[in-house]
Amino acid sequence: MDINRLGSDLQQPTPLDSTQKSTLIDALAALRDLVDAVSDLLLAESVYHLANGNPSRASGATDILSGAVPPPDRLEMLQPPERGIAVNHRVLLALDHARTLREGWPSGSPRGLADPDLDSWLNRLLPAPENILVRLLGSDGSTNKVASLRDLFDIWPERDPPLGALDLAFDVIEPGAVARSALEARLAAACEALTGATGLPFAWDRERDWPATAYSIAEVSAIAGAARAVLGNARPLQPDDVPGAVAIDTNDLAARLQAVSDAATSAGKRLDKAIGSAEERLSARRWAAAFGLPALADTATAGLAALRATNSTGASPPLPTPRCRCASGSRRCSTASRWCRA
């Protein structure tokens, strides 16, 4: 009797028109398809676990749709483990045995002496020196002068180490980041010799009106950095890598090492003679930086500023001390045989 009273009190719903009925039927059909898809997916999950010898997981997958167990974070049948045989592909980098350099690039850089094959390979990958441009700014921030790398090579200071293609890759901390690097200090010395002006700031980006064949130093450094990344993840080719290959040419290796040793000895003599001359100290420091000595490369730009101060005031300010890299709490610097000054 209570049920009959409740039924009489309820308000009957308004009948649906044809449009509403069609919309409701479409929604129910879509829900039916979704339920069928989930059901098929859980069935496949159950079969997957059953085929892999896990009946408990198989039965659990079928109970998910009923709500008896919570669903898993992921279905394993969608990410089956990969099985197979690993295959490694080796790519060989072919180098020019003649070690020819593109016209305009200098020879004799320490890195080029150590590995003339890579130096030859990289300088043929990079643009020609006459197409690599450097922008110098005036006091108002506008472009004061544009010089090509070929122009700088023509007046490159004889006391400084030659700038090779490998130096564009390794004289910067990050590819394309030329500011406050050893490369900037070496270019600044050549630009001062070219223009006769000191302290002109660089602009490392390209001008909008440059032709497509022209490149900025930053762009070329980025290209060289990509080649550096390839070399950094590679290893030398060994005779065992190529069937029937000849043994390593130890005579060539010995000659290269001797050339680097002679250049290092010459750089050491420059350091001995550099005491008392600010310009010679900078030149000796750039030679040491060309051999990859980071403590000296870090102070190359600061040393150039000290030389400019000398030229403007006539005084001889002390050159900056290389950054201390010793361990915390240590009294002796780990990179130099002297007491830490920090």
CB under 8 A, 24+ apart: contacts of 274-278: 278/306, 278/307, 278/310, 278/316, 278/319
162-179 pLDDT, tens digit per residue, is: 888 888 888 887 887 888
What digits encode the pLDDT tens for the residues 190-249? 888 888 777 778 888 888 888 889 999 889 889 888 888 888 888 877 777 777 656 667
CA distance 120 to 96: 7
Dist CA 112 CA 89 (whole Å): 29
Task: Choose the weakest-confidence range: 68-72, 114-118, 214-218, 277-281.
Answer: 277-281
- CB 334, CB 326: distance < 8 Å: yes
The residue ranking higher by pLDDT, 306 or 116, is 116
Which of the four pLDDT bands, split at 50, 70 and 90, describes residue 8? low
| Per-domain residue ranges of the chain | 24-80, 110-242+250-313
**Quick check: 116 pLDDT over 70?**
yes
In this prediction, residue 275 carries a pLDDT of 62
Q: In this structure, are residues 136 and 143 in contact, taking their beta carbons and an 8 Å threshold? A: yes
| pLDDT higher than threshold 80 for residue 272 | no
Query: Is the Cβ–Cβ distance between 275 and 261 less than 8 Å?
Result: no
Least confident piece of the model among 21-30, 202-211, 278-287: 278-287
Which residues have a Cβ under 8 Å from the Cβ of 267 and sit 6 or more positions away? 110, 161, 284, 287, 288, 290, 291
pLDDT in tens, 90-114: 788 878 778 888 888 888 888 888 8
Nearest Cα to Cα of residue 231 among 327, 125, 154: 125
Tell me: pLDDT of 298 over 50: no
Lowest mean pLDDT among 2-6, 271-275, 276-280: 2-6
